[in-house]
Amino acid sequence: MAHHGELNSCTGGKVQVVDYKGNPVDKTKTGGWLRALLILGIELCERLTTLSIAVNLVTYLVNTMHLPSPQSANIVTNFLGTSFILCLFGGFLADSFLGRYLTIAIFATVQALGIGVLTISTTLPQLSPPPCIHNQDCQAADGAQLAVLYVALYLIALGTGGLKSSVSGFGVDQFDENDEKERSHMDYFFNRFFFCISLGSLLAVTVLVYIQDNVGRSWGYGICASCMLLAIIIFLGGTRKYRFKKTTSGSPLVQIAQVFVAASRNRKLKLPADDSHLYDDAGPTSPSHRRTPHTHQFRFLDRAAIVDLSMEEASYSSPWRLCPVRRVEEVKTIIRMLPIWATTIMFWTTYAQMVTFSVEQASTMKRNMGKNFEIPGGSLTVFFVGAILLTLAFYDRLIMPLARGWTGKQGGFTTLQKIGFGLALSALAMAAAALTEMKRLDEVKHHHLWDKPKSTIPMSVFYLIPQFFLVGAGEAFVYTGQLDFFIRESPDGMKTMSTGLFLTTLALGFFLSSLLVSIVNHVTMTHSKQGWLSDNLNRGRLDNFYWLVALMSLLNLVAYLIFANRYTYKETRNSTQGKPSTDNGEGLQLAKSTSAEKECVEGSI
């Protein structure tokens, strides 16, 4: 039997690794790659569902629900943005109350329910407007029809947000970081995790999009619902073999708030000249009685760890008045990650164009393969997914071994370098998209198709491949780099929340896309002239919009490089911030400290 843990609580408690009964785990019978794969099944089906809906939703909204193009694009990006912003909520629930296992099980069920409602909404004729008459006199969906659609979409968004922040963390829980062999498996986990869900994406943009367009939306969505239910059953079937991590650290959001409140309350107190006099909860339960390495950034937060002996015990023992150095350093770690977090948002704004305007572009172009087969517009994202798979395979088998020799690092390039590669590729993708749109508009002008938005432009849809391929390759670097960065660099008790923080970059990227569309549409549209993002793409200037996004991506890349160059990895900080001390300091062995430690845990839960 094996039982291991990590220092990770307000009182120096441990992260306990147990089986489903709460007993210490037997490593020979639990965890490992087999159980991680059962968990990945949920993520694969989530991606299968969300992506097959997202990449083809804009065509459904325009052609079936008869909504304007900019409004349809914003509905898609708001749906995706909400899905990912709710990951922060899911991470909070997992860390604070439910644990990762229950969070996944509950919210996967919610998502399956949402897909069921969406299936019904596309099956019943009364839940969509009547078809257009001769491509004119199109009646837009009414309030009730849109309400049912929104209920379905946002149930799916809630389910996605709840489970997505916990899946990767629960998968990582199946490996022991203290075991050299299992730790080596984790170096490949993130790439293989993303490779598996990309296979689901490939099925989504080929098989399911084709079924939606050629067999029926209800059939496509019904298959998604069935797949998710099957994945839930398989996931629950592995319950007896999973490893579960339990912590006593409470809600990370509460812990962060406690540090800021305590620092604010102690703002008039003078910081001690000797940092060892700041309160630390290192005690007999801590490995080797080691104090937390202290850093001198964000000195204001150190005030949260000042012991004010003039206060009554009941006052200073509150976690809202006094917090240990370890907790202060955890909050500092989150703050250091924020510039990286902020400068990765722009990538997902470029991604949003691939599932909105690029799909609309494709629907206007020649998509024939042979005499009898026409590629669905949404299926052009197969090149996007294919780029992800090729890039991951190429990186895993060729680039990583070569980079390992160059850099001496087990993982090849660092996580921040991988993210930088992805951001550069996204800027190139937007430039390629703008050039392709300029070519498409030239064809429109040459064939006088300005006022024929339903006509097929005699230009091959394969001109769109470069933009899909570059964004796909960029996502392979950015997604795996972000996921690895946020999980490895975050404090031990905040890993699920930090995964949610990472996923909020996707959400904010989609919301930024919606905001950009609204602003550009407002600024460029006049009473006498249609704007850049016209309902009729043949009359618009989508190329100008793409150039704008390309410029923003380039400026964002410069900012990212500055912040990434200044960032110091947690492992390096811990090894250079002085040797751990066994000197507890005069202010650390107060007779009242036991009470303070107890209150710190009670205040967190």
287 and 362 in a single domain? The answer is: no
Query: In this model, does residue 352 exceed pLDDT 60?
Result: yes
Spatial distance between the Cα atoms of 153 and 162, rounded to a whole number of angstroms? 14
pLDDT in tens, 585-596: 333 333 233 333
The one-letter code for the residue type at 3 is H
- Does the residue 497 lie in any domain? yes
**Domain end residue (candidates: 281, 302, 330):** 330
**pLDDT value of position 582:** 37
Mean pLDDT of 144-159: 93
Mean pLDDT of 384-403: 79
Surface-to-core class of residue 596, CB atoms within 10 Å of its CB (0-12 exposed, 13-18 middle, 19+ buried): buried
- Which CATH number fits the domain that encloses residue 387? 1.20.1250.20
Range of the domain at 377: 336-580
457 and 403 in a single domain? The answer is: yes
**pLDDT value of position 599:** 31
Give me the number of domains the chain comprises. Answer: 2
**Domain end residue (candidates: 308, 330, 352):** 330
- Does the residue 204 lie in any domain? no
**Cα dist from 225 to 103, 109, 250, 382, 597, whole Å:** 19, 10, 34, 22, 48
Q: Which residue has the tokens 């399911």?
A: 208
Strands 373-374 and 368-369: antiparallel
Mean pLDDT of 90-94: 82
Which of 37-51, 180-194, 392-406, 562-576 ranks highest by mean pLDDT?
37-51
- Does the residue 500 lie in any domain? yes
**pLDDT value of position 232:** 93
Which tokens belong to 168?
């990767």
**pLDDT value of position 40:** 81
- Does the residue 172 lie in any domain? no
Share of the chain above pLDDT 90, in %: 26
Spatial distance between the Cα atoms of 269 and 182, rounded to a whole number of angstroms? 47
350 and 313 in a single domain? The answer is: no
pLDDT in tens, 209-255: 889 888 888 999 999 999 999 999 999 988 888 989 876 556 777 88
| 420 or 531, which is more confident | 420
**pLDDT value of position 405:** 67
The one-letter code for the residue type at 258 is Q
445 and 537 in a single domain? The answer is: yes
Which tokens belong to 273?
């000249």
Which tokens belong to 143?
């309030």
- Does the residue 256 lie in any domain? yes
568 and 487 in a single domain? The answer is: yes
**pLDDT value of position 400:** 73
pLDDT band of residue 59 (cuts 50, 70, 90) is confident
268 and 376 in a single domain? The answer is: no
376 and 414 in a single domain? The answer is: yes
pLDDT band of residue 27 (cuts 50, 70, 90) is confident
pLDDT band of residue 34 (cuts 50, 70, 90) is confident
Share of the chain above pLDDT 70, in %: 82
What is the CB neighbour count within 10 angstroms for residue 37?
17
372 and 399 in a single domain? The answer is: yes
- Does the residue 235 lie in any domain? no
Q: What is the largest distance, in Å, between two alpha-carbon atoms of the chain? A: 87
- Does the residue 573 lie in any domain? yes
Which tokens belong to 81?
């943005």
Which tokens belong to 208?
């399911």
Query: In this model, does residue 549 exceed pLDDT 90?
Result: yes
301 and 423 in a single domain? The answer is: no
474 and 556 in a single domain? The answer is: yes
Which tokens belong to 350?
């470029």
State the average pLDDT for the chain.
80
Spatial distance between the Cα atoms of 558 and 465, rounded to a whole number of angstroms? 26
| 553 or 131, which is more confident | 553
**pLDDT value of position 248:** 53
**Domain end residue (candidates: 330, 347, 370):** 330
The model carries a pTM of 0.74
Spatial distance between the Cα atoms of 329 and 157, rounded to a whole number of angstroms? 34
275 and 391 in a single domain? The answer is: no
Sign for the pseudo-dihedral over CA of 364, 367, 368, 373: negative
Find the range with the poorest average confidence among 97-106, 274-283, 544-553: 274-283
- Does the residue 461 lie in any domain? yes
Query: In this model, does residue 307 exceed pLDDT 90?
Result: no
298 and 363 in a single domain? The answer is: no
pLDDT band of residue 343 (cuts 50, 70, 90) is very high
pLDDT in tens, 493-546: 676 667 767 878 988 999 999 999 999 988 988 776 777 887 777 788 889 999
